[in-house]
Amino acid sequence: MVMAWNEERSRRRVAAHDSSTFVVRVSDLCRDMDFENLGSQDVKRVHGAHIYADVPNFHLAVEDAGGNKEEQKKLLRAASVLRRVQDQLLGENDVKAIQYQAARLHCLNYKPYNSEEEESNENRRAERAKRSVIMAITLNSYLFDVFNGVFKEVRKFQSAVGISSGVSYVGNIGLHGERERIGLGSCANLGAKVLGGHDTITITSDVYEILPDDLKELFSKCGQIAGVGTYQAKGVRWSKYPELMDDLGVKFDEEALKQATEGHKDDLPLAEMDVIEPTTLINPTLLTEGNNRRTQAVAIFADIDGFTKHVQEAEKNEDVESLVRQLRMVRQEFHKVISDDYEGLVIQHQGDRVLALVHTPTGGDGHQKRCEIAVDVAIGIQSSMDHVLNKRLGDGQKNLRVAIGLDVGKALVTRLGKRGEKTVVFLGPEVESAEDLQLRSKGQEIRIGQAVYDALPEGSTKCGFSEDGKGAYVAFKLTFPELDRLEEEDAARANRMGVTVSDGQFSILTAKSFESRPLGDSKPWSSGHSS
């Protein structure tokens, strides 16, 4: 198998997965339905509040564990138990999880449902806002007053919650029958953007304005984020406000939660957990909390830049169905580039962002090969987006751009959650670094860490990157067709270009072509190589 992106193959794939005729059914979420078992064609329009609960110092806990397997197992057990009890708390408060993202929880409070009576919906919005803030206080209270006391063997977890409300769209566009819920819409992303620091709850102004006075008093004005006013409360836990808890009718039993936490902890004895250095490519379906993998790998984060704006336009034009179809097509192609063209491991799709890993097993080709392949994956994603996908997208979604971040190091790969609903996650300082590099990037940029850059051989690809002044290297508009053009220009300037003829077609060969390929063979990513 040739591990390479190929334009002709990419075009065939995208044509085969063209979703323009895929039927998408958008309907309001109402009392007699749920989004727990959404079909791939169903998208629910939801009036609700999106809640993000994060552990902002989780990356420090990962650094604490370092390369020590026993410490890693302690951290994995803590993360697993946190997820299990969070899921229990959501169930008790009638709030539904959208997605678990490593140490971050994304959930949605959509009760009470909206009705056809607009006047009563204002009261329902206010009730949802109140219930969402109660949920946030409960999540923070559990982590600080219960969880950290049980898990003293790891760094004390911090907690931060962000809340935004409005209309969003919930669907399942997982591949190969996998259930992978996503939330689309401004408020679905805004909750994550307003997340604050340690021991905070940050809410958008529209949530604050309809809270009851006793909850409003907990918040102070906090400025604007993404053009939206925010309010923030610090250090709010039920143990500090017992009278408020009683007035609101909240039940928060610390002792019962402590027993549940200790029970889950006992169910995962460290002696029965293992962290293995893989000798073959990782099969994520075999992973569990007790069966984990630790490997040298390059972490990749690829995000569609400005996608929220496209969602907003789709909302205005009542064209959400088209947007969902286009997102399906884009995600399928990204998935294929990673897993089929390069045998990378797709970890998770988070809305319009994909997380992936490129690793070679112990005894494999080594550090340089991993970095070369991972950079080729990033260039392949950019190539598919710029040269293939954008030519098939409708007018409303044309010219989507991708921002990509990569870094290399040790990564822990596992699956956390309840049986049947486990999510593949990867952990490690370099994973956090790759995400940061992606967040610092704009569309059509690939940003790589120093270690990845140093591993690249001299040549056109490495020359495509330049220092960004912040310890990383960035390439703009770097695609395989663009690399072809640059190499041909360089060869022409150096008078090092040749021509071959095959089946009546001319092929241009650069010096690199002569050195690395048999005479007459084209580059594996070019249209002339379609295997």
- 22-66 pLDDT per residue, tens: 777 777 777 666 666 677 778 888 889 999 999 999 989 988 998
Evaluate whether residue 29 is within a structural domain. Answer: no
Report whether pLDDT(503) > 60: no
So what's the pLDDT on residue 522?
Answer: 45
Range of the domain at 509: 488-531
pLDDT band at 374 (very low <50, low <70, confident <90, very high): very high
Q: What is the rounded CA–CA span in Å between residue 142 and residue 137?
A: 8
So what's the pLDDT on residue 456?
Answer: 95
* Residues 186, 324 share a domain: no
Q: Which is more confidently placed, 411 or 161?
A: 161
Share of the chain above pLDDT 90, in %: 53
Secondary structure element (H or E) that encloses residue 204, with its range: strand 200-204
Secondary structure element (H or E) that encloses residue 63, with its range: helix 58-65
* Residues 523, 459 share a domain: no
Cα 406 to Cα 212, 373, 450, 452: the distances in Å are 45, 11, 10, 8
Domain count, the chain: 3
Q: Indicate the residue type of 325.
A: R
Chosen domain end from 229, 249, 271: 271
Say whether 185 sits in a helix, a strand or coil: coil
So what's the pLDDT on residue 434?
Answer: 94
Give yes or no for a contact between 522 and 4, defined as CB atoms under 8 angstroms apart.
no
So what's the pLDDT on residue 144?
Answer: 97
Q: Indicate the residue type of 229.
A: G
| Residues sharing a CB contact under 8 Å with residue 200, sequence separation 6 or more, in sequence order | 160, 161, 232, 233, 234
* Residues 147, 47 share a domain: yes
Closest CA to 307 of 374, 353, 345: 353
* Residues 305, 241 share a domain: no
Secondary structure element (H or E) that encloses residue 50, with its range: strand 42-54
Q: Which is more confidently placed, 522 or 416?
A: 416
Chosen domain end from 254, 271, 288: 271
Chosen domain end from 239, 271, 303: 271
Cα dihedral 83/88/92/93 (nearest 10): 10
* Residues 244, 98 share a domain: yes
Report whether pLDDT(117) > 70: no
Evaluate whether residue 27 is within a structural domain. Answer: no
Evaluate whether residue 483 is within a structural domain. Answer: no
* Residues 232, 120 share a domain: yes
Q: Which is more confidently placed, 227 or 216?
A: 216
Cα 500 to Cα 134, 266, 400, 509, 513: the distances in Å are 71, 68, 36, 7, 11
Angle among Cα 292, 180, 78 to the nearest 5 degrees reads 35
* Residues 282, 262 share a domain: no
Domain at 149, CATH number: 3.30.70.1230
* Residues 111, 15 share a domain: no
β strands within 102-179, DSSP E: 104-109, 160-172
* Residues 63, 166 share a domain: yes
- Enter the pTM of the model: 0.86
Arithmetic mean of pLDDT over the chain: 85
* Residues 292, 201 share a domain: no
So what's the pLDDT on residue 469?
Answer: 93
442-466 pLDDT per residue, tens: 999 999 999 999 999 998 899 999 9
Evaluate whether residue 322 is within a structural domain. Answer: yes
* Residues 514, 407 share a domain: no
63-94 pLDDT per residue, tens: 899 888 999 999 999 999 999 999 999 999 99
Cα 308 to Cα 92, 160, 311, 313, 314: the distances in Å are 31, 23, 5, 9, 10
